[in-house]
Chains A and B, each alone.
Chain A
Amino acid sequence: MLEALATAWGYLGHVNVILLIFLGCVIGLVFGALPGLGGVVALAIMLPFTYGWEPMAAMFFFAAIMGAVPFGGSISAILINTPGTAPNAATCFDGYPMAQRGEGGKALGISATASGLGAIFGLVVLLILIPVVRQVIMLFGPPEFLMLVLFGLVTIAFAARGNMLRGLISGGLGIFISLIGYSSVFGVLRFNFGSEFLWDGLRLVPFLIGIFAISELINLSVRGGIIAGERMPGKLGGVLDGAKEVFRNKLCFFRSSAIGTTIGLIPGVGGTVANFLGYVAAMQTSKHRELFGKGNPEGVVASESSNNAKDGGALLPTIAFGIPGSAEMAVLLGAFVLHGLVPGPIFLRDQLDIVFALILGLLLSNIIASTFGLIAGNFLARLTTVRVSYIIPIVLVVCLVGSFADRGNLWDVAVALVAGIFGYALVKSGFSTICLVIGYILGVIAERAFHMSLMISYGSYAIFFTQPISLALFILIIFVLLLPFIGRARAKGRS
């Protein structure tokens, strides 16, 4: 483990890696500060730029983006009352009232410190859990992995926004899409409809760009106007006082960070839940409950620490089991595939240096983003007053050229466009894009695990129910599927 850490640490001595981390931070801050874009769009757009990069350098870059987005989002939440990303929503409740009474700098100071320390908290928990999880994943074979994928899909369908049935349908559609093209396992072409282009299946980069970035652009254009229109506060003083405020509210910080990390560990739930649960817990336990929503610094501490702590937690199911803890992690999973890294149990065993690159990248980016964000906070918040008419063509151009750059095929651009429109319709109809992407990324791997399991058991399906972990996961799947009915029955009983 220490050897892997040393390898990852060694990369920080390279100037280009440091520059990539800085660049990632700037991109993360800008995309985080711009409401409607956020981390998922930033990661999807940046995927094609990393072609030919060393996987380690690419992971530092992606981690830097992910680490900087939450603080970027808090800048617009505090200064202009518009959360840059959904997980910053609760920051508005107390951050903006603070800015209104001339404490914008203090609120940003709280946000920067709580974000940075919250992220460190989450990563420390991750570091503690890695050795434990490494022992557990040694017990995972093909049947366990298949059950794990199914469990991940069911959990995410349950946790994703909207209806559970639609979440499951999205996952199924994702699996279908992953099956398009030539299967090396069976030596057959499936669902290519006679198209030569579809022999290789739908490529990852154009698909992700379409589903996450282009669909968001359509959404942004429908919304129209300028991203935000609130008047900017004047100078930003009291930053240091804000930083001290986090230490004055230690208990609130630790409680919110623990909530954030725990929520991050649950696949698919994501930062919005962490953010709100952290905020609500702080409000319920505070001595000054009446001040929440009126500019209580505790509210900002709770919201931002829980939001950032979730990244450490969310990284664990992603790297250990290939089940993403959040939407950003789903795209990160795509980045793994793009760089030849196989998500799933083997990853944590064989690619530990990459894991440490992600951890170090997240750690550094949080520190850099908090510092840089404080200096450039006013400028970043001003970006949100830019009209969407400027943003749409620029981002669209990058999306389409990026889709083409994947392998120089024009039809990949068409795939990105169709995926974008499909993704938009999917979201508007209450389906889950995360489930779709999970199904798409893990579909083929799960199918391979399924057939390998059958080969091991000489064709007996009992293998999925006789292995203890596999059986336990199967029972968990049934339990999650029954949860809505249990909840309904309990609600009926109460009424």
Chain B
Amino acid sequence: MKIYRKGSFWFTLLVLIIALVLVSISFSYSERARLIPLAVGIVVSILAILVLIGERYPRLIRGFDVSLTDFTRGDLEVERRMKAVSKRGVGTSVRTICAWIAGFFLLIYLVGFLIAIPVFVLLFLKIYGHIRWLNTLVVTIVTWGIIYAMFKLVMKVDLFKGILFGEITPPI
């Protein structure tokens, strides 16, 4: 596979860019305050470059693919068994779920937790999960009830009410 098609290549590149940016920012601090960030940043940058080279030439960094024992077998075994029994496989994409999560956050921002929670749970179960109406309604009500009881009544958390209802967002 060409390296630019690999997600790990782009992610490592992102890590390298972040590390380099942080290193450059470190220079603006006093000598003592920048010591650790600078040292860590330089090490991370060098390692990220090595990993990127390894993406293109895997043999060069094969030595670092540690096999202390066959400990990864457990994780692989779980994955294998789950794939074997999963009906949908790897059908749903990461983008879809991230969009749902982002939508939920936007809803909280606009109308607050107490309205956003039932709306999100109901829509998610119905549209994403294709769950029957009765089950959808029951799960929505129970989820909302538990959250309200736990956070509002027991823990006395003042839940965010949403900017549409006059709540002011904290400074970012």
Interfacial residues, chain A to chain B (CB-CB below 8 A): 35-36, 49, 51-52, 81-83, 85-87, 89-90, 92, 158-159, 161-166, 168-169, 172-173, 175-176, 179, 183, 186, 188, 190-191, 195-197, 214, 217-218, 221-230, 269-270, 272-273, 275-277, 387, 389-390, 392-394, 396-398, 400-401, 404-405, 408-411, 413-414, 417, 420-421, 424-426, 428-431, 446-447, 450-451, 483-485, 487-488
A257 to B32, CA, bound (A): 47
User: Across the interface, do A276 and B94 meet the contact criterion of CB distance under 8 Å?
Assistant: no
A218-B94 contact, Cβ under 8 Å, with A82-B85, A163-B65, A401-B151: yes
Q: Chain B residues near A392: list those with CB within 8 A.
A: 97, 124, 128
A393-B120 contact, Cβ under 8 Å, with A191-B22, A226-B86: yes
Among A51, A183, A397, which residue has its beta carbon within 8 angstroms of that of B120?
A397
A469 to B155, CA, bound (A): 46
A188-B30 contact, Cβ under 8 Å, with A404-B160, A410-B109: yes
User: Across the interface, do A89 and B72 meet the contact criterion of CB distance under 8 Å?
Assistant: no
Interfacial residues, chain B to chain A (CB-CB below 8 A): 7-8, 11-12, 15, 18-19, 22, 25, 29-30, 32-33, 35-37, 40-41, 43-44, 47-48, 50-51, 54, 61-75, 77-78, 81-83, 85-94, 96-98, 101-102, 104-105, 108-109, 113, 117, 120-121, 124-125, 128-131, 135, 139, 143, 147, 150-151, 155, 157-160, 169-172
Among B40, B73, B150, which residue has its beta carbon within 8 angstroms of that of A89?
B73
Among B12, B36, B48, B135, which residue has its beta carbon within 8 angstroms of that of A450?
B36
Among B51, B72, B81, B143, which residue has its beta carbon within 8 angstroms of that of A393?
B143
- Excluding A168-B44, A450-B35, A487-B66, 16 further A-B contacts by CB distance (< 8 Å) are A82-B85, A89-B77, A159-B71, A162-B65, A163-B51, A173-B19, A188-B29, A218-B97, A230-B85, A272-B71, A276-B71, A390-B135, A404-B113, A413-B105, A425-B7, A487-B63
User: Across the interface, do A165 and B124 meet the contact criterion of CB distance under 8 Å?
Assistant: no
A426 to B85, CA, bound (A): 26
Looking at the assembled complex, report how far the CB atom of B146 sits from the nearest CB atom of chain A, in whole angstroms.
8
Among A191, A224, A276, which residue has its beta carbon within 8 angstroms of that of B73?
A276
Q: Chain B residues near A446: list those with CB within 8 A.
A: 36
Looking at the assembled complex, report how far the CB atom of A369 sits from the nearest CB atom of chain B, in whole angstroms.
20
User: Across the interface, do B92 and A221 meet the contact criterion of CB distance under 8 Å?
Assistant: yes
A224-B89 contact, Cβ under 8 Å, with A186-B30, A405-B151, A485-B63: yes
| Chain A residue, CB-CB nearest to B31 | A186
Among B29, B40, B101, B113, which residue has its beta carbon within 8 angstroms of that of A417?
B101
User: Across the interface, do A197 and B171 meet the contact criterion of CB distance under 8 Å?
Assistant: yes
Among B8, B40, B105, which residue has its beta carbon within 8 angstroms of that of A414?
B105
| Chain B residue, CB-CB nearest to A491 | B63
A485 to B37, CA, bound (A): 28
A266 to B78, CA, bound (A): 23
User: Across the interface, do A49 and B155 meet the contact criterion of CB distance under 8 Å?
Assistant: yes
Q: Chain A residues near B102: list those with CB within 8 A.
A: 417
Among B37, B98, B171, B172, which residue has its beta carbon within 8 angstroms of that of A218?
B98
Among A229, A272, A424, A428, which residue has its beta carbon within 8 angstroms of that of B8?
A428
Looking at the assembled complex, report how far the CB atom of A359 sits from the nearest CB atom of chain B, in whole angstroms.
26
User: Across the interface, do B22 and A429 meet the contact criterion of CB distance under 8 Å?
Assistant: no
Q: List 12 A-B contacts (CB under 8 A).
A: A83-B77, A89-B77, A172-B40, A179-B37, A393-B120, A401-B159, A404-B157, A410-B169, A421-B101, A425-B11, A429-B7, A485-B63
